[in-house]
Structure 1
Amino acid sequence: MKKRWSLLIIGGLLLVLAACTATTKLSNKQANYPTKPIVFVAPSGAGGGWDLTARAITKVLSETGLVKQTMTVENRPGGGGAVFMAEYATQDKNNDYKLFVNSPPIIINNLKAEGNSPFGYKDTTPLAQLTKDFGAIVVRSDSKFQSLSQLLDAIKQKPKSVTVAGGSAPGSMDHLVAILPIYKSGIDPKTVKYVSYDGGGEAMAALLGGNADVIATDVSSVGEYVKAGKVRVLAVSAPERLGGVLKDVPTMKELGIDAEFTIWRGVFGPKQMSDDAKKFWDNAFKKLSEHEKWKEELKKQGWEAEYRSSEEFTKFLQEQEQLISDMLKSLGMHK
């Protein structure tokens, strides 16, 4: 009898041990994400805000060892991000190894009437907001427009005589930055000649090549051009003056124009992202936001830090959706 009980006890212990081993293996397997290379997509051409942000994020994540897997940045221009979103939301909705960087256009493209995208941030998993930036109205250094008021006067007198360009489609972020001071000055924005390019880099090339008189772009994209003496910034959409090379540039509000626009940037994953992947990125982006190397990168790029976790970012996007909806309605561009 004693022998039988001993055998039963030993058998039970072996079963418990086997179960614990299986659980440990499963736990280790879950904790192993990521197990293969990761792609960060910038849904625009090279040189623009999304591209620079994606490359900065992957660079610092790699240098700090927060992500040990290989990370690559892929440029996917088209429709101010709408072309990529259509593919991502339908073909990569459970691909834990493809993330992307975006900003207000993910909301704008979904709400605007012209070139409307059926997909928006609700078709993704918002992972983290990492930076905030502002819009800038930029001309070549040899431009006849010495101030924003001169530019607005010229547009008011003869709207089609001035070519305004941006790195996003009509009704999208750069377009909104461009026409905000125009609209707030009592000029019908629909009369303005706006030319769109796939990314801020292409818009800047158009400006420097003489194919545009003025561009609206991200503040962080113009610093090096200002230092090189190639462009002049007429105004920024920040609530107060910025520092560095733009310290002497007035805000739109300072010039008597009630216009302000913040360009946040964040990282998104697929809508059906696994819990393990989401937890990994929650942890990685929080640590990234606190790391000295990231703070150094922000300073180098001229960006301002603005970290929101996945949960906070999602709530913020809901607020932004309402704000942008109201803005597009006021401009007659809502779907």
Structure 2
Amino acid sequence: MNKISKMTEFSATLPREKQCVFVVSTGRTGTQFFVKNAPSIIEDCVSFHEPDTIWLSRPYEWYSKARLVGLRQLTIDKVLPARSLRSLSNARARREITDDAAMESLRSLRKRLIEEAQGSVVLEANAAYFGLIDLIPKLFPSANIVFIIRDPRDWVRSMMNKSFAVVGPYATFDVRCWIPKARLAASQFREDAACPLWRRMSRFEKLCWLWNCENSFALECASKTDHVRICRFEDIFGGSSRKEAFCDLLEFLTRFPNGERAQWHLDEKLLSRKVHSTASGSFPSWPEWEQKLVMQMHTRCHGLMDKFGYGQELEWNHRIEKE
């Protein structure tokens, strides 16, 4: 066998580098849409939605997820930064873990899952990556990432409604709030203006704080890598230009840093379908909010709202100027 044949044989035995797409947000931003539809949009794509998170409302997923990542990772490991993406992101946001340590944890949590996935393109949608965006490309050099931000008035409303009113962040049965540091809180940040007020803040105001905290840190991480595209939820899922915006995003996500490209085709009808929506419920949309809620959101979120063009309505500005 000549030298060239030997080299060809050797290269054929090497594992092919996976092309990865990570859809990251703070939740309630249509991430399940990507997971449900990615295999029909992107050629030879396999997708996962928060594979190491169990939802009490979806027991039908427990068995398959336990087989995928192991029962321990779904349960007791959730409180350990080294064994949980969410706890890892929270620890980074609090500046309690070094980048090297975070990288090692991320490697142990995801390397095998991605490499063994049955598809040349692996898409994972997971809100727990909000504090790890800059580390993802170091572990997966051929990864592309989209970070999706949503109008906090709609995001908080979604969190306040339906099942999230009971089990969502800071709700009565939010298990993470029962475990020290498993849920971010202003009381964990001494320099935060909300720190001394935290215990007296309503759930609504705490959610406003959380939207600002997680999105701010995610954007800080995103600024450290060229592998990420920042998108507004409203641009890719609403408005007259949503198809153009979504196609532009797909072009970015399927042109990988190693030069490879995945083929894709988008059926425009998909964009009109909602996945796991909680738009309806007892908590109203912002025009019906009492003045106190308007000012609480403005106080906690106005910086990022201005940056992304939220809160430009005359009615919103009029209510703020009343104070």
User: TM-score, normalising length from structure 1?
Assistant: 0.32
- Structure with bigger strand share is 1
- Structure with bigger helix share is 2
